[in-house]
Structure 1
Amino acid sequence: MVSNRLAALADAMTLEEQVSLLSGEDFWSLPAVDRLGIGKLRVTDGPNGARGSGSLVGGVKSAAFPVGIAIGASFDPALAREIGAAIAEEVKSKGAHVSLAPTVNIHRSVTNGRNFECYSEDPELTAALAVGYVEGLQSRKVSATIKHFAGNESEIERTTMSSEIEERSLREIYLRPFEDAVKKAGTWAVMSSYNRLNGTYTSENQWLLTDVLRKDWGFDGVVMSDWFGSHSTAETVNAGLNLEMPGPARDRGEKLVAAVEAGTVTRETIRARVLDILLLMERTGALDEKTAFEEHADDRPEHRALIRRAGAAGTVLLKNADGLLPLAETAGKIAIIGPNAKTAQIMGGGSAQLNPHYRVSPFDALADRLGADRLVYAKGCTNHRWEPVWTGDIAVDYFANATLSGDPAHAETVNDANMFWIPPFAGGKVDPHRFSARLSGTFVPDASGLHRFGMHSAGLSKLFVDGKCIIDLWDGWTRGRTFFEEGSDEVTADITLEAGKAYAVTIEFACGAAKSLGLSALRAGVSRPLGDDDIAAAAEAAATAETAIVFVGRSGEWDTEGSDLEDITLPGRQDELVAAVAKANPRTIVVLQTGGPVEMPWLDDVPAVLQAWYPGQEAGNAIADVLFGDAEPGGRLPQTFPKRFRDNPTFRQDPEIYPGLDGKVRYQEGLFIGYRHYDQQGIDPMFPFGYGLSYTDFDCGSLDLDEDETGFLARIAVTNPGVRAGSTVLQIYVGDDEASVERPVRELKGFAKIELAAGESREIIIALPPRAFAFYDTTIGAFRIEAGRFTVSAGFSATDLRTSAAIDMPEMILD
């Protein structure tokens, strides 16, 4: 409800002042209106922390929380609420009022580069976690910005692609989390997606932003564009987009004033959009905030503890033959092997990146726990997508032209060649759309032999070693799949180097022609390629140990915004590495860190597998806690793991279904994504949705359904007959036995995270409201229950259903 004060402020503004609040002033903030005492609203990226106003790399340090899919694996809305509340404190430490989070798009495919940032393939699980996260954030007067609204389930040509989705699938699957975020959590902000929805950009889609969001759901907050994701003036404002981001204004400002004067946008519409902005400022305290902008790196002990606990809560035990896990503290020598052993893979890539307070690798955590003398280490192989970034004292000279001419306008020193230029930079002394830069430093190899340099850039670039150009992305630059599809693919060059010798490395860069996002960035790296001898050495190390733990997977280079995966095989030679280690040591444990499923050709040959995702800055400690049983492997799969890439729902011969063709991606599978697809097609997955093992066992009794005034209550006793405490997730699925329309065999409609002591039994009650039995009837524009029989099933995964009950439902049209 808009207060009299906000109405008076809106009416006291000139048209120009009103319009000024409908665009960003800069990358992260709205302008203040000093004449009326209106403060400045600031936003910051999320969702696994709060980066602040810095670049995607570097900047003020922040706490790195588990990524979305790890929270999804927890199946724990209460934990999501805790994380949201903690991240609200992080947002405040960065002087901001709005978090650009959570990300709730659905796992339609297994290759979406941003699946790591999203919760699940299931809309009900995603919705419940979103509600918890939003409530946590907003309980501390920090606004959530639930995103990306809607149909952004792929990173391929996402700024122009039209997601072709029929309304029933939208209402039942892709809009579900947004609906609950509005109706149940009362989110204060929504971010429109880059893509078109059924032909119209979401930022100017009136059906989506006004008819559904505001009229159907009663949303009273702010809709902002994704960064550079609005493309018009009158169309976006009239459709319901409050805020064009980032600033300065591109299609608003003077253009919007002119549109009002020309009559294509009414003053009443401008006033309504401004009132939403003022309400958001009032809700977050920004309206009256007069303190100077400051950012702090608050490394809080309570956040450390929460991140560590949440990391374990999302870790999924996929296999545990003969009870190999948990390991005993008295275990003998342990071989620590793999490319993710000494590298802490804590987050995915893209706008969710931040500069963490610290990173705990698995090796460091295990060395701290057991002592380094108990460990033997071998890397075995690499898994990088791009050459490891060149680090050192690197001098950067900036030029106020695109030709590196004249004297530098600004000079600074950086620690690595990973540059992402967000204005203002270079002391504000260059035009961010017309500048050049020269990076200069040295590289000293620690071993002689072949080395590989690599570079990619959003802009023109060249790399020189001792004055010789070995990579040319200046004359031959072409657009690829890096830097949000604004950069080239990596180009590499091999060169033989001598250990201990300092080589002069120089990079020349000039910003290129503006594209969709107008980015300027580059990344350069170098490494010594590994080969057969390194895999053999890893196997030898494993043979000398009692137990071998292989840390494999991907990283934020692969699981990243702006680029989908090409398949779900482990990158590089990691499958060979696992096979070699398993052959050398029968007590081999594989710890996976990925943002989604991978094929596992070695699965039958290893006794234990853990899926640890990207669990935040406490990664190594959280993994160690699970390995040694200090914490339960509390996670259950929020996404089905297929046996083969071709088994997944979007693997089709028709490229328009995925990855898209001629600017369209057609959601032909409709409702049948995730476990619904595997049920429909009769395909056995490698690991089903909701699956996960515990360090104890669980049983459940018969299912009883009791009717109450709000629907039905599912009652079921769950027992832990084991000798140690543990946790599980009870899952309730509903299927319509006699539907007149095509419906999935079963759909998740309720769940509960349960912790039970050894020998404990407890009755679990899960509400099933009428919506749990309904489908969206496009002929009447409402959710509808058809009269007939429904089967309600309970169990511990989509394929492990232990008990069921039938219920007859009457015809019902839902509001």
Structure 2
Amino acid sequence: MSWNVSDRQLAALVAEMTVEEKAAAVSGHGLWRTAANYRLNIPELLMTDGTYGVRYSIDQIDGMQDDDGQLAAFLGVVNTDLSTGVESAFGSTRPATCFPNGSSLACSWDVGLAHELGEALAAECQAFGVNILLGPGINIRRTPLAGRSYEYYSEDPMLSGEVAAAVINGLQQNGVGASLKHFACNNSEVQRTTMSSVVEERALREVYLAGFERAIRKGNPWTVMSSYNRLNDVQAAESHWLLTEVLRHEWSYDGVVVSDWHGIKDRPASVNAGNDLDMPESGARKQELIDAVKDGRVPAEALDRSCLRILKLVRTARNAIRPNAEVDFKKHHALSRRMAAESIVLLKNETAVLPVDAAKVGKIAVVGAAAVEPVIQGSGCATTRPTEVDIPLDEIRRLAPNAAISFHGATDFEAGSPSEQSALAAVEAADVVLFFGNTEVGYDGEGSDRTHLSLHAGQDELIGRLGRHSGKIVVILFAPDAVAMPWIDGVQAVIAAFFGGQGVGKAIADVLFGKQNPCGKLTVTFPVQKEDIPGYLTYPGENGRHVYSEGIHVGYRHYDKRKLAPLFPFGFGLSYSTFEYSNISTSADRIDASSTLRIAFDVTNTGGVAGKEIAQVYARPHNSRLIRPIRELKGFAKVELRPGETKRVEVTIDSRDLRYYDPAYRQWLLDAGRITFEAGASSRDIRLEKTVEVAAPALPSTILDLESQPYLVLEQDFARRRFHDFLKAQLDLDDEEAGRMMEYCASSFLGIYKTVSWVAGEKISKAAMASFLDNLNKEIGETVSKAA
């Protein structure tokens, strides 16, 4: 079972392998395994999807299949239509706990809960004999239309990285490897294997890669999965810059890079780039690699490095196996319920229509098919066959046994139908109407983006219509991401459950009747309309290229910068209680590039029931050299409070997380000046603030050259002094004359060399000026490097 071999023995195994054996070692065997080598006694590993549940296909994993059969089985799951039901979609898939999907779980803002998810997934993997689970997925939810957004956590990389690291640690501390995916910029399913995500380097570094770096730094996943798409016109699985320069050299990652399934187009190029494991098995790609090694297009040492990484992974995973592991599915179902309850977001609660008092309510009208067939997950490779499913209508009846509860499908309200009048009469007579709405089932998911932000056909219209017949409409939403709400002013309450997993039915009922005080908060911004989405003008791309035109202003950064009112802001969520913030302080009034700052403040429950508040800390820079967002999330804390109770909340922030990336300097920089730290209940509900000074080198706006306008050379004291001394020496000036020369230069719109030569003629050569500027840039760069 275990495989106890030393590093020296692993290196000896690689040296003993033939080229063909090495090619097999870095290739899959079938759909879900690595290749065993019986000659050298190298065992195999088993991996499977997904990000919120274990999808174990008996046919694909345990059955014997040829290449065509494997691909057909794989595509059968990828392209499955969940509208026909889980059983038909999954056939012989083993039941496993379907936990809340990523877009739901992250709304808990609870890293402890995320760790518990990892632990539970690991327990089920151990029981199934799975060594690596292909998740978590943390691509930025750049647009709510993205087909796989239900798997991902947030539009913010800091939050995404924190949740992912917790899931990874929960998995790997219990003997199951994680696969952090999809690296990188898999933010749309439109032509997903050929579309190039065209992203400027600042946005790439600060937004789309930052969550991966954080998760790797804090979780060190055994594997990282490269994405299907091209990144800046290079296939992600074949990008040396992404997989070697950034991932290996800058981030010091030493695990295995595995391809997404059939994500490699050029196998030799992928090995040279640092993509170790090619999944699933492909005889053609193996032969391409063998040929490339033999003719020198792939250096032998590159293949050997990948082989050694995979053997180390096999050793780690095999030695972590827990023989005869068993899993308590009832316990995991209870965990799924708790996770769903912690993640539900209360978006509106006008006139305190919620919670419903079960002892007093007389009549309840429940509307919508999702009340009896809850939409618990998205569609695609991550989809899990649940062990059981809580039905919302059943749970509502359980909590309100004395109420008269009627149920009505959407067809009951069709104009002119026999049931129309009786259904409307039931709505009008009800003390509360619970409308269960959902997006289109089985369409938005892996392989296709949504085309709109509406609910499933006719539901938006029906909600609006029912709102004219009742003043007590509560809308419960099952959706992968944000939806538009044209009916919002006509309903009294809105609950967002997202895709809450198999226990979401009970969780919803508990929130509706006050058994659970809602505490979830949004991890994305809800736009009023599709046209408000950042990057709307260039989505979904054309001619194979998708330009990320909003740059660094993703999600709430976009809405803040444009002063655009969202439907609901990032970080927003209501409670049945209220919370006040007070007494903010910082551990220092001045920080530098190596500082760790603690921000503390009091949170008080001023309501009448116990509840949990998710307090968020944002950083707002002053007078930045480069364009910056108004504010960015830098920390958060979830605090549980009894009525009237006050707790001191402390959030720790490292200076490294306050930096921005300057492509000109090719470095992460911290600006001198001031930063204000804001504590609040959402990105648009700032309650407290505290400003600190930042000690850092004062830098010019950009790298200087002969065509730089003179003010750029003169804007910092450091550069002014150097330029003053240069003019004195080159033109034989005294201090006063050099000062007047600098005043003249400051007002010129010409480049620095042309400005000086206009007055001084040839006394300063172009080469001398260029040398001065190069040395100045070098000196500035050295200063920045020392400060960092």
- Distance in 1 (CA, whole Å) between partners of 2:416 and 2:116 is 46
Aligned to 1:22: 26
Structure 2 counterpart of 1:304, from 307, 326, 333:
333
1:228–1:246 CA contact under 8 A, matched in 2: yes
Q: CA deviation digits over 1:423-472, x for unaligned, max 9?
A: xxxxxxxxxxxxxxxxxxxxxxxxxxxxxxxxxxxxxxxxxxxxxxxxxx
Change (3 A) 1:274 1:364: same
Change (3 A) 1:86 1:780: same
Change (3 A) 1:2 1:668: farther
- For 2:298, the aligned partner's letter is V
Aligned to 2:552: 671
**Between Structure 1 and Structure 2, which shows a larger proportion of strand residues?**
1
Aligned to 1:400: none
Q: Which fold has the larger relative contact order, with Cα–Cα distance below 8 Å and residues 6 or more apart in sequence?
A: 1
Q: How does 1:692-707 map to 2 (within 5 A)?
A: 692-707=573-588
Change (3 A) 1:554 1:297: farther
2:440–2:456 CA contact under 8 A, matched in 1: no
Q: CA deviation digits over 1:129-149, x for unaligned, max 9?
A: 111111111111111101110
Q: How does 1:545-584 map to 2 (within 5 A)?
A: 545-584=430-469
- Counting matched residue pairs gives 660
- Distance in 2 (CA, whole Å) between partners of 1:694 and 1:591 is 16
Report the CA distance between 1:229 and its aligned residue.
Answer: 0.6
Q: How does 1:464-613 map to 2 (within 5 A)?
A: 533=417, 537-613=422-498
Structure 1 counterpart of 2:301, from 268, 271, 282:
268
1:147 aligns with 2:181: yes
Q: Secondary structure at the match of 2:298?
A: coil
Report the CA distance between 1:555 and its aligned residue.
Answer: 5.0
Q: How does 1:216-615 map to 2 (within 5 A)?
A: 216-252=250-286, 254-285=287-318, 300-330=329-359, 331-371=361-401, 374-381=404-411, 533=417, 537-615=422-500
Report the CA distance between 1:530 and its aligned residue.
Answer: 6.0
Change (3 A) 1:643 1:344: same
- For 1:83, the aligned partner's letter is L
Aligned to 2:565: 684
Q: CA deviation digits over 1:258-279, x for unaligned, max 9?
A: 2111111122111110111111
- Distance in 1 (CA, whole Å) between partners of 2:498 and 2:416 is 28
2:182–2:226 CA contact under 8 A, matched in 1: yes
Report the CA distance between 1:347 and its aligned residue.
Answer: 0.3
Report the CA distance between 1:609 and its aligned residue.
Answer: 0.9
Q: Secondary structure at the match of 2:39?
A: helix
Aligned to 2:777: none
Q: How does 1:154-165 map to 2 (within 5 A)?
A: 154-165=188-199
- Distance in 1 (CA, whole Å) between partners of 2:655 and 2:623 is 17
Structure 1 counterpart of 2:48, from 34, 44, 47:
44
Aligned to 1:729: 614
- Distance in 1 (CA, whole Å) between partners of 2:543 and 2:242 is 23
Q: CA deviation digits over 1:473-500, x for unaligned, max 9?
A: xxxxxxxxxxxxxxxxxxxxxxxxxxxx
- For 1:22, the aligned partner's letter is V
1:199 aligns with 2:229: no
Q: Secondary structure at the match of 1:145?
A: strand
- Distance in 2 (CA, whole Å) between partners of 1:531 and 1:11 is 76
Structure 1 ranges of 4+ moved more than 6 A: 286-289
Report the CA distance between 1:617 and its aligned residue.
Answer: 0.7
Which range moves more in the overlay, 173-182 or 803-812? Answer: 803-812
- Distance in 2 (CA, whole Å) between partners of 1:650 and 1:629 is 39
1:326–1:628 CA contact under 8 A, matched in 2: yes
Change (3 A) 1:162 1:342: same
1:789–1:809 CA contact under 8 A, matched in 2: yes
- For 1:598, the aligned partner's letter is V
Aligned to 1:468: none
Report the CA distance between 1:803 and its aligned residue.
Answer: 1.1
2:480–2:499 CA contact under 8 A, matched in 1: yes
Change (3 A) 1:121 1:20: same
Aligned to 2:674: 789
Aligned to 2:168: 134
Q: Secondary structure at the match of 1:35?
A: coil
Change (3 A) 1:602 1:25: same
- Distance in 1 (CA, whole Å) between partners of 2:15 and 2:414 is 67
Report the CA distance between 1:288 and its aligned residue.
Answer: 8.8
- For 2:167, the aligned partner's letter is Y
Given the two structures, how large is their TM-score scaled by the length of structure 2?
0.81
Change (3 A) 1:770 1:532: farther
Q: Secondary structure at the match of 2:444?
A: coil
- Distance in 2 (CA, whole Å) between partners of 1:230 and 1:780 is 33
1:345–1:361 CA contact under 8 A, matched in 2: no
- For 2:665, the aligned partner's letter is I
1:801 aligns with 2:686: yes
- Distance in 2 (CA, whole Å) between partners of 1:364 and 1:248 is 48
- Distance in 2 (CA, whole Å) between partners of 1:17 and 1:85 is 35
Report the CA distance between 1:53 and its aligned residue.
Answer: 2.9
Given the two structures, how large is their TM-score scaled by the length of structure 1?
0.78
- Distance in 2 (CA, whole Å) between partners of 1:531 and 1:551 is 20
2:261–2:280 CA contact under 8 A, matched in 1: yes
Q: CA deviation digits over 1:12-35, x for unaligned, max 9?
A: 323222221111110111121122
2:358–2:403 CA contact under 8 A, matched in 1: no
Report the CA distance between 1:118 and its aligned residue.
Answer: 0.5
Q: CA deviation digits over 1:530-564, x for unaligned, max 9?
A: 66636655433212322110000225413311111
Aligned to 2:116: 82
Which range moves more in the overlay, 745-754 or 572-581? Answer: 572-581
Report the CA distance between 1:731 and its aligned residue.
Answer: 0.6
- Distance in 1 (CA, whole Å) between partners of 2:610 and 2:283 is 57
1:735–1:745 CA contact under 8 A, matched in 2: yes
2:369–2:409 CA contact under 8 A, matched in 1: yes
Change (3 A) 1:729 1:373: closer
1:13 aligns with 2:17: yes
Aligned to 2:778: none
Structure 2 counterpart of 1:62, from 87, 96, 100:
96
- Distance in 2 (CA, whole Å) between partners of 1:267 and 1:536 is 77
Aligned to 1:524: none
Which range moves more in the overlay, 5-14 or 35-44? Answer: 5-14
Which protein has the larger Cα radius of gyration, Structure 1 or Structure 2?
Answer: 2
Aligned to 1:394: none
Change (3 A) 1:575 1:264: same
- Distance in 2 (CA, whole Å) between partners of 1:15 and 1:191 is 24
* RMSD of equivalent CA atoms: 2.1
2:175–2:320 CA contact under 8 A, matched in 1: no
Change (3 A) 1:271 1:530: farther
Q: Secondary structure at the match of 1:105?
A: coil
Which range moves more in the overlay, 9-18 or 777-786? Answer: 9-18
Q: Secondary structure at the match of 1:85?
A: helix
- Distance in 1 (CA, whole Å) between partners of 2:14 and 2:38 is 14
Q: CA deviation digits over 1:731-787, x for unaligned, max 9?
A: 111111100100000001111111111111111111111123210111222211011
- For 2:31, the aligned partner's letter is F
1:345–1:619 CA contact under 8 A, matched in 2: no
Structure 2 counterpart of 1:740, from 625, 630, 634:
625
Where do 5+ consecutive residues of structure 2 fail to align?
A: 59-72, 78-89, 698-783
Report the CA distance between 1:2 and its aligned residue.
Answer: 7.8
- For 2:690, the aligned partner's letter is A
